[in-house]
Amino acid sequence: MVFTLAIVGRPNVGKSTLFNRLVGKKLALVDDTPGVTRDRRGGEGRIADLEFLLIDTAGLEEGDVGSLSERMKAQTAQALKEADIALMLYDARAGVTPMDEHFAAWLRRTETPVILAANKCEGKIASVGFYEAYALGLGEPVALSAEHGDGLADLYQVLVETLKEIGIDPYEGENDDSSKDNQKNLDTGPVEGDMDYEFIDPDAKEAQIRPLRLAIVGRPNAGKSTLINQLIGEDRMITGPEAGLTRDSISVDWEWDGLPVKLFDTAGMRKRARVSEKLEKLSVADALRAIQFAEVVVLLLDAELGIERQDLKIAEHVVSEGRALIIALNKWDIVENRLDVSRALKDVLTRSLPQLKGVKFLHFSALTGKGLQNLMPMVAEANELWNARISTSVFNRWLADAMEKHPAPSVSGKRIKIRYGAQIKTRPPTFALFCNRPEGLPDSYIRYLENELRRDFDLPGVPIRILMKKGQ
């Protein structure tokens, strides 16, 4: 147990219910009446193998509407002082209230990292209240139901990520003797059935050991089969149709340097399909299907033929679907005018679609294997970059700097102010910015922010999306 988590939020959002669920004992009195008096409690909580000290701040009455009572503030402040991470709950059924806004505004100013959770999300996750929460400026909320035990797998993931960000290893000392006792507790511990169930949920398991989903696409004869054979060689294991893909698709489970990879083999798809359709047309359809299931797509080109309209169409589709793209020039062994070929590709990429600017490309020979060692590191890196998550506090510090360096323009004499922002999505990284007059902000300013973000957070070739929202 190496970290402390404080559950904070206004009364009646479900803090005690969550506390009970995580601690696993029916300790607290849960009542519908806001502010039923309870003591501030601490307990040993856990989610699956993650153990922590939990502080509950329930038991306070709401102060004057729209403000926090002094007692609540003092108690929360004390809890935050003791905690490594704060978990702010709000009631997704009730939506965001002025009290929640005050809480969030206050939490945004503290040093403690905050995870926002939308409680009472059982059944329907996408309630209006869930999306309203972006306006709190604390990032994407985790959808929970404290009462039903839903969403704990997501909370687990976000906790692990946040711990990593603040440099805490939650499994520290796992191999020493004292943790053997913990292990015993893990097996016989006070965890209720529901929660166990949550963690045998296949999604949760999958999320932790999920392979990177990679597709190799390209025109017929670009060298896809050759490449896959060269990459996987004798280890090849055909796993048959992936649920949801067509019967003819093939995926290969493979491991590269310890990283599990699920590879979609569109060449295999084509070879299995009936040959009545024209091959060209078929290969585009294959590519589109594979892209849907992939996170990273390698678009393979025959270097002697260069990039053609059909390839660009696929490239554009990959990026607009939010997948990471790598362009590979194959058959480099037989290319004579290598410099010209590289230049031509770069040229096309800069001149065509703005979103293809900066897309990584490489060249190799799938046949001889020369240069191929660069491919998988690039794939792994692209995957990481597209999954980049910038914490809300870091992002807002960055935003303040960027706006100071280059303030947003005034429109009809009025200053446009971006109050705060947060990353709301990964793949590709997507940010919401809350602004007093979003309609007045010129595109050039948004592009400025995009470029700064890309440079400051080292995200070359990653399309960054910025959504402007109205907010005070």
Binding positions for ligand GDP, rule: CB under 6 A: 11-17, 30-32, 58, 119-120, 122, 145-148, 218, 220-226, 267, 330-331, 333-334, 365-367
Residue nearer to ligand GDP on the CB measure, 129 or 137: 129
- As given in the structure block, the two tokens for residue 304 are 């002697």
* Residue 113 is labelled as binding a ligand: no
* Residue 182 is labelled as binding a ligand: no
DSSP single-letter state for residue 103: H
Angstrom distance (rounded) from CA 440 to CA 435: 10
Residue nearer to ligand GDP on the CB measure, 194 or 321: 194
Residue nearer to ligand GDP on the CB measure, 94 or 467: 94
Residue nearer to ligand GDP on the CB measure, 223 or 429: 223
* Residue 9 is labelled as binding a ligand: yes
Residue nearer to ligand GDP on the CB measure, 222 or 349: 222
* Residue 458 is labelled as binding a ligand: no
Q: How far is the CB of 10 from ligand GDP (least distance, A)?
A: 7
Residue nearer to ligand GDP on the CB measure, 230 or 391: 230
Q: How far is the CB of 425 from ligand GDP (least distance, A)?
A: 24
DSSP single-letter state for residue 242: P
DSSP secondary structure of 421-472? EEEEETTTTEEEEEES-GGGS-HHHHHHHHHHHHHHTT-TT---EEEEEE--
Residue nearer to ligand GDP on the CB measure, 14 or 463: 14
Q: How far is the CB of 122 from ligand GDP (least distance, A)?
A: 5
Q: Which residue in 285, 18, 324, 51 sits closest to 181, CA to CA? A: 51
Residue nearer to ligand GDP on the CB measure, 365 or 396: 365
CA distances 400 to 216, 237, 308, 434, 442, Å, are 41, 51, 43, 13, 18
Q: Which residue in 83, 103, 91, 85 sits closest to 18, CA to CA? A: 91
Contacts of 142 (CB under 8 A, 6+ apart): 115, 116, 117, 118, 151, 154, 155, 158
Helix (H) or strand (E) holding 358: none
Residue nearer to ligand GDP on the CB measure, 224 or 262: 224
Burial class (CB in 10 A: 0-12, 13-18, 19+), 467: middle
Q: How far is the CB of 7 from ligand GDP (least distance, A)?
A: 8
Residue nearer to ligand GDP on the CB measure, 231 or 459: 231
Q: How far is the CB of 294 from ligand GDP (least distance, A)?
A: 16
- As given in the structure block, the two tokens for residue 289 are 């299907």
Q: How far is the CB of 457 from ligand GDP (least distance, A)?
A: 35
Q: Which residue shows structure tokens 């922010």? A: 449
Q: Which residue in 265, 330, 257, 323 sits closest to 296, CA to CA? A: 323
Contacts of 384 (CB under 8 A, 6+ apart): none
Q: How far is the CB of 430 from ligand GDP (least distance, A)?
A: 27
* Residue 12 is labelled as binding a ligand: yes
Angstrom distance (rounded) from CA 351 to CA 345: 10
* Residue 404 is labelled as binding a ligand: no
Compute how many other C-beta atoms are within 10 angstroms of the C-beta atom of residue 174. Answer: 13
Angstrom distance (rounded) from CA 214 to CA 324: 10
* Residue 294 is labelled as binding a ligand: no
* Residue 121 is labelled as binding a ligand: yes
* Residue 15 is labelled as binding a ligand: yes
* Residue 330 is labelled as binding a ligand: yes
Q: How far is the CB of 185 from ligand GDP (least distance, A)?
A: 25
Angstrom distance (rounded) from CA 428 to CA 430: 6
* Residue 387 is labelled as binding a ligand: no
* Residue 246 is labelled as binding a ligand: no
Residue nearer to ligand GDP on the CB measure, 32 or 39: 32
Angstrom distance (rounded) from CA 323 to CA 315: 10
Q: How far is the CB of 244 from ligand GDP (least distance, A)?
A: 23
* Residue 370 is labelled as binding a ligand: no
Q: How far is the CB of 120 from ligand GDP (least distance, A)?
A: 4
Q: How far is the CB of 232 from ligand GDP (least distance, A)?
A: 13
Angstrom distance (rounded) from CA 67 to CA 188: 44
- As given in the structure block, the two tokens for residue 33 are 């009446």
Contacts of 154 (CB under 8 A, 6+ apart): 142, 143, 144
Angstrom distance (rounded) from CA 75 to CA 61: 12
* Residue 398 is labelled as binding a ligand: no
Sequence ranges of the binding site:
9-16, 56-60, 119-122, 218-225, 265-269, 330-333
Sequence ranges of the binding site for GTP:
9-16, 56-60, 119-122, 218-225, 265-269, 330-333
